[in-house]
């Protein structure tokens, strides 16, 4: 099972730019579990994943982290990166 977790904050400018891109990818990529995490609302999860900055996208395959993307991501790169682990 592939899981994609996006860590962001309400106050984060790049996070606001990434949000609609992430939503588009969620609607276009099937067979993947997507999760949005607000680092302020769920700081324990951010600590568990050792998130140092936002936005951060963590990709897990079978419960193990296989890729981490930090900062603003463009849709083609995000989509191809996720699909490469399917």
Task: Based on the residue annotation, tell me whether 12 is a catalytic residue of this protein.
Answer: yes
Question: pLDDT tens, 11-67?
Answer: 999 999 999 999 999 999 999 999 999 999 999 999 999 999 999 999 999 999 999
Of 12, 46, 51, 57, which residue is the catalytic one?
A: 12
70-82 average pLDDT score: 98
Say which CATH number the domain at 17 has: 3.40.30.10
Domain holding 80, by residue range, is 2-84
Burial (CB count <10 Å: 0-12, 13-18, 19+), residue 42? middle
- According to the model, what pLDDT value does residue 6 have? 98
Q: Are strands 64-70 and 32-38 parallel, antiparallel or unpaired?
A: unpaired
- According to the model, what pLDDT value does residue 7 have? 98
If one counts the domains in the chain, the total is: 1
Specify whether the CB–CB gap between 33 and 61 falls below 8 A. Answer: no
> Could you tell me the pTM of the whole model?
0.96
Of 4, 5, 15, 37, which residue is the catalytic one?
A: 15
- According to the model, what pLDDT value does residue 61 have? 98
């Amino acid at each position: 099972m592939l899981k994609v977790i996006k860590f962001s904050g309400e106050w984060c400018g790049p996070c606001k730019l990434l949000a609609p891109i992430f939503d588009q990818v969620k609607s276009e990529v099937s067979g993947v579990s997507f999760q949005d995490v607000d680092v302020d609302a769920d700081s324990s999860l951010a600590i568990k994943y050792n998130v140092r900055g936002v936005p951060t996208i963590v990709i897990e395959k079978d419960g193990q982290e296989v890729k981490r993307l930090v900062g603003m991501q463009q849709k083609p790169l995000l989509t191809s990166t996720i699909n490469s682990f399917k």
